[in-house]
Amino acid sequence: MLKKLLIALLVIGAIAGGALYYVSHSPTFTVELPEYQKPGELVQLQQGWSDAQRVQFHYTSQGTRLVPYPWLMALEQPCFSLGACDSFVEPQYLGRFGFLAGTADPNLNPGNLPVGFAYQKDFFDPTTGQTGEAVGLTCAACHTGELYYGKYAVRVDGAPAMVDVTAFQKALGLSVVFTKYVPFRYARFEDKVLGANASDADKAKLKAAFNGFLDAAKAEVATTDKLNIYPHSAGFIRTDALTRIGNQVFAVDMKVDANFAVANAPVRFPQIWDASWFNWVQYNSSISDPTVRNVGEALGVRAMLKAYGPDAAKFENSVHIEGLRTLEGLLRGDAPYKGLTSPAWPSVFPAIDKAKADKGAALYKQHCQGCHFPSIPELVADLNSPKPLYWGSSEGNKYLMVHDIPVEKVATDPHEAMDFIARTADTGDLKLGRLSAALGLQTVTEAIASKFYTKAGYSTEQGNAQNGYKDPNYKPVRALPIYKARPLNGIWAVAPYLHNGSVPNLDLLLSEQKERPAKFYLGTRTYDPVKVGYDYSALKGGYEFDVTLPGNNNAGHEFTNDKSKKGVLGPAFSAEDRAALIEYLKTL
């Protein structure tokens, strides 16, 4: 009898050990990340914000939700262990996804979470009608950069962040799944959320909410996996923003699975200084209205919208319009170049060679200024001139008229522009028929804003102010085969380059395509101030950028003597001319 019992225990142990090995090594249940990169001495650049304004931008909620706030603080990292794993919000762990160390604030950031994690005590869930504590990502998570050089960590507000949002979402999902299925973990989670003396009723309520959240997440993942919606990771510093917004709004929020579209148009997180004063934003120059832009962005990072069922047309939602107004005000300021300003070349970097930069200025004027505008001092002078060359106006507000370049002319990867043009959506229970992605996004975001304005008692003037006083002749959203060319102030801080991030540094961007690497790595913040970009050598756990994948093409925007190619903007530069032009770009 004892022998049989021992054999049974050995068999059970072997099965458990095999299961443990499988789970801990299967790509489905693991997240590969680089080792934690410890930042050096923090250098905070002066960009027009006070410390209080910076904290406000980093943590003001847009009405998005990752999970309820108490859950996030109680979750463990997705390791497979019968004992307790480390806290999911442990700073070094979140740092491996690229999130930056945060600043504690008793109201905005009571849990001392990283930059871009926004706490909201009155989050409204439109599917249940209940209000509670939540934590979600805000725009600072993807638009706050940090560059490591020597002993310094130079922080740049508004610059693209070296974060891997997809890997983070997977890890968070696994953490929730493991909490459900790994023995003893849910009990620890329950104790942390409710306390040791919670009532049976509170425990039952938590379990129902937890299971409902998990079931909905599993159903969405099962659908996107079945349809192969996300075949390739965007990796660090990128996301397919427009496709993901569309998938969230048209498929998840409307409950129409047929509206899912394959994400093949990843783009590098854009720099956001000055964007409030452009007549059009997004790389494909598709959105003119700041409210549409901000509401759409909130929906894309999981603000909740109930656009299905018999009350679909009520557009019940969690979008925090007041928070969006605060964030827009911080970015915008009360006039161009009075809000968040672009960063100046840091004093802790090697000094700019003035003679070389002067030579580069002439090259810039000859080869770049036609698309990318003159320097900011010249644009300010033009702004204040009687007949501006570069600025339009609407109701007394002036806007920089960005240059729209046909996709065929610049010949960079066409996916973002062309995929957005081609996309349509069935509006389901809204009963508006099939709409283009542009009109569908406009319809939903304007309805959400209008709902808030009515509830808040906004006058027409207040609504117009919130919408940026944009020219009434502009459509809020459009879809054209174009990419936007913007001024290049602060361009040194926004590697990698091209809209899809397919070129690691400025030196390679100004080289011929054959010199650009077909594969390189993203994930480190180690900065090269000479070539101007991040270290792109092999990185264990980093993202291998493969230019042959859909959306990753590194062609176009080229200076070459081969006139047979598309996207040729000028003749090939010598190494000396490239260096001079780069030196000038550092001054912008």
Within 8 A by CB and 6+ apart from 400, the residues are 274, 277, 278, 279, 336, 373, 379, 390, 391, 487
Looking at the predicted structure, is the pLDDT value of residue 7 above 80?
Answer: no
Cα–Cα distance measured from residue 320 to residue 273, given in angstroms and rounded to the nearest whole number = 22
Q: How confident is the model at residue 432 (pLDDT cuts 50, 70, 90)?
A: very high
Asked if 219 contacts 393 with a C-beta cutoff of 8 angstroms, the reply is: no
What integer pLDDT is reported at residue 243 of this predicted model? Answer: 97
In a domain, 49, yes or no: no
Within 8 A by CB and 6+ apart from 83, the residues are none
| Stretch 376-396: mean pLDDT | 93
What integer pLDDT is reported at residue 461 of this predicted model? Answer: 79
Asked if 261 contacts 419 with a C-beta cutoff of 8 angstroms, the reply is: yes
Helix H or strand E encompassing 239: strand 238-239
Reported as a single tens digit per residue, the pLDDT across 168-210 is: 999 999 999 999 999 999 999 999 999 988 999 999 999 999 9
Cα–Cα distance measured from residue 342 to residue 490, given in angstroms and rounded to the nearest whole number = 5
Q: How confident is the model at residue 26 (pLDDT cuts 50, 70, 90)?
A: low
Cα–Cα distance measured from residue 281 to residue 304, given in angstroms and rounded to the nearest whole number = 24
In a domain, 23, yes or no: yes
Reported as a single tens digit per residue, the pLDDT across 267-317 is: 999 999 999 999 999 999 999 999 999 999 999 999 999 999 999 999 999
HSE-up (13 A, CA, CB side) for residue 102: 27
Residue 430's alpha-carbon distances to 250, 443, 477, 507, 528, in angstroms, are: 11, 11, 20, 50, 51
Count other C-beta atoms under 10 Å from residue 217's C-beta: 16
CA angle 536, 159, 576 (to 5 degrees): 55
In a domain, 26, yes or no: yes
Looking at the predicted structure, is the pLDDT value of residue 575 above 50?
Answer: yes
What integer pLDDT is reported at residue 6 of this predicted model? Answer: 39
Asked if 146 contacts 137 with a C-beta cutoff of 8 angstroms, the reply is: no
What integer pLDDT is reported at residue 427 of this predicted model? Answer: 98
Residue 330's alpha-carbon distances to 47, 322, 323, 325, 453, in angstroms, are: 11, 13, 11, 9, 21
- The whole-chain average pLDDT of the chain stands at 93
What integer pLDDT is reported at residue 394 of this predicted model? Answer: 80
Q: How far apart are the first and last CA of the chain?
A: 82
Cα–Cα distance measured from residue 260 to residue 263, given in angstroms and rounded to the nearest whole number = 9
Question: Shortest CA distance to 516 belongs to which of 550, 549, 542, 546?
Answer: 546
Q: Which residue has the higher pLDDT, 4 or 343?
A: 343
Total domains present in the chain: 1
What integer pLDDT is reported at residue 3 of this predicted model? Answer: 45
In a domain, 150, yes or no: no
Residue 576: phi, psi to the nearest 5?
A: -65, -40
Residue 94: phi, psi to the nearest 5?
A: -65, -30
Residue 412's alpha-carbon distances to 8, 350, 550, 555, 584, in angstroms, are: 63, 32, 12, 5, 24
Q: How confident is the model at residue 463 (pLDDT cuts 50, 70, 90)?
A: confident
Reported as a single tens digit per residue, the pLDDT across 217-259 is: 999 999 999 999 999 999 999 999 999 999 999 999 999 999 9
| Stretch 87-115: mean pLDDT | 97
Instruction: Render the burial of 443-482: b for 16+ CB within 10 Å, e for the rest.
Output: bbbbbbbebbbeeeebeeeebeebbbbbeeebebbbbbeb
Q: Which structural domain range is residue 1 located in?
A: 1-30
Model confidence, pTM = 0.93
In a domain, 96, yes or no: no
In a domain, 573, yes or no: no
Asked if 422 contacts 436 with a C-beta cutoff of 8 angstroms, the reply is: no
Q: 3-state DSSP call for residue 265? A: coil
What integer pLDDT is reported at residue 395 of this predicted model? Answer: 76
What integer pLDDT is reported at residue 9 of this predicted model? Answer: 35
In a domain, 21, yes or no: yes
The sign one gets for the Cα dihedral 457, 276, 107, 88 is: positive
Reported as a single tens digit per residue, the pLDDT across 129-175 is: 999 999 999 999 999 999 999 999 999 999 999 999 999 999 999 99
> Regarding beta strands 558-559 and 568-570, do their DSSP bridges make them parallel or antiparallel, or are they unpaired?
parallel
Question: Shortest CA distance to 417 belongs to which of 497, 499, 475, 496?
Answer: 499
Residue 405: phi, psi to the nearest 5?
A: -105, 125
Reported as a single tens digit per residue, the pLDDT across 45-61 is: 999 999 999 999 999 99
Instruction: Render the burial of 357-382: b for 16+ CB within 10 Å, e for the rest.
Output: bebbbebbeebbbebbbbbbeebeeb
In a domain, 301, yes or no: no
